[in-house]
Amino acid sequence: MTKKEPAPVNPGWGGRFSGGHAAIMERINVSIGFDRRLSEQDIAGSLAHAAMLVQQTIITPEDGAEITRGLEQIRAEIAAGTFPFREQHEDIHFNIETRLQELIGAPAGRLHTARSRNDQVATDFRLWVRDAIDGLERALRDLQAALLDRAEEHAATVMPGFTHLQVAQPVTFGHHLLAYVEMLGRDRARLADARRRLNECPLGSAALAGTSFPIDRETTASALRFDRPTANSLDGVSDRDFAIEFLGGVAICGMHLSRLGEEIVLWMSQPFQFIRLSDGFTTGSSIMPQKRNADAAELVRGKSGRLNGALLSLLTMMKGLPLAYGKDMQEDKEPVFEAADTLELCVAACAGMVRDMTVNPEPMRRVAESGYSTATDLADWITRVLGLPFREAHHITGRLVRLAEEQGVDLADLPLAEMRTIEARITQDVFSVLTVERSVESRTSFGGTAPANVRGAVAAARKRFLG
């Protein structure tokens, strides 16, 4: 058996290493398989850095022009799919630097003046997360728009409201969908807040201590559309709070989508039959030909666990690291990349299902009428009309519900004479509040389910969230 030669040393490490490293070391160390996704951000950062070096007379304009030409050619190669990504160059930074050397020769060696891979990758990663937030902002806005359209359409469609998954009070389907609009609004706000906090530029922090070259960090920060440079070089290269905050927002948003997915699964099921999804968002069974499964909703529900795992992974990796940089931090990217991809997919799937669903008002109304869902309306009527304390009205209503149960009828079908055996002052007017339609119409308090409220809330939400 021929002994395998040690892998060559990465040329970016300089003259400190003379021997090759073990094959297993190369396998555990290489990151180009995933950090190639940072290519656009790496090129943008290098272009800004090179321009600043020229401005500060640290490199010549001629070298700067050659560097810019080479980087633009590399950008074009990557876009065309012809760039030679090579594992022996370890990561995206050395892959681009090596290719630049092939293209322009000696001037390529001047690009890394006054920077380190530590501040380079920190900058690239912030740029990538910023771009991911911008993409998710657009996707979440689209999902809100879909929900608002359906909420307006069903502002007066009565459905059961649940607590403990028991029929509680009638609401409208539009009102129910608006709850998710509010959740997604908070998700967008959390991501926007994380974006504001991450928008500081680490470039110029170098390895950990800054640099002796007369760089202008404000210039590079501005060129890359950061608000300012990071204030401390140690923190600049070692901070991953921005990625953790991003994953926190992603996990919370995933939880919201999981709740929507769970409700779609319930609404689609035979006991409910509140909605129907087309073939485009359902699957069948390999053995039961009658089945129509809400698999898209189930997968949204299931993928939320992966988002939680990404957050926990990064928190665990970072918790024991001393300042400044440790190779452990190479493990920060895959969870972030996967979480961003997963959430983007889930948001798009939810928007598709919301637009695709056919709403079945009759089953909704039928269930809304069950379980004595207007009992609270009865208690409110007793308090409002008869002037009794609510606790006493609650007690009277409970006795009336028990009487209706014993007779096997709904509250609206309980004869007035029977009601008066419990409370003699009840009048015929009580029946005006015992239908589900009158129940939802009466909920006119701000944020309530009355159809007029829902229509107003849709208009307000369009202005607030869609601009």
d(CA 56, CA 44): 19
261 within 8 A of 298, measured Cβ to Cβ? yes
What burial letters (b/e) apply to 200-228, b meaning 16+ CB within 10 Å?
Answer: bbbbbbbebebbeeebebebbbbbbebee
Q: Which of 116, 212, 256, 285 is catalytic?
A: 285
423 within 8 A of 378, measured Cβ to Cβ? no
Return the ∠ at Cα 74 (arms to 327 and 48), rounded to 5°: 70
Question: How many alpha carbons fall within 13 Å on the CB side of residue 242?
Answer: 28
Looking only at the bridges linking them, the beta strands covering 158-163 and 228-229 are unpaired
Closest alpha carbon to 128 in 41, 245, 49:
41
d(CA 102, CA 90): 17
Q: What is the phi/psi pair of residue 410, to 5°?
A: -80, 165
d(CA 419, CA 401): 10
Active-site residue 286, yes or no?
no
92 within 8 A of 42, measured Cβ to Cβ? yes
Q: Which of 49, 89, 116, 164 is catalytic?
A: 164
Q: List C-alpha distances in Å: 120 to 28, 164, 182, 299, 416.
A: 21, 51, 38, 37, 79
Closest alpha carbon to 35 in 340, 314, 332, 249:
332
Q: How far is CA 267 from the centre of its chain?
A: 24
d(CA 421, CA 357): 47
Contact residues for 444 (Cβ-Cβ < 8 A; gap 6+): 450, 452, 453
Active-site residue 164, yes or no?
yes
Q: What is the phi/psi pair of residue 200, to 5°?
A: -125, 145
Catalytic positions, written as ranges: 164, 285
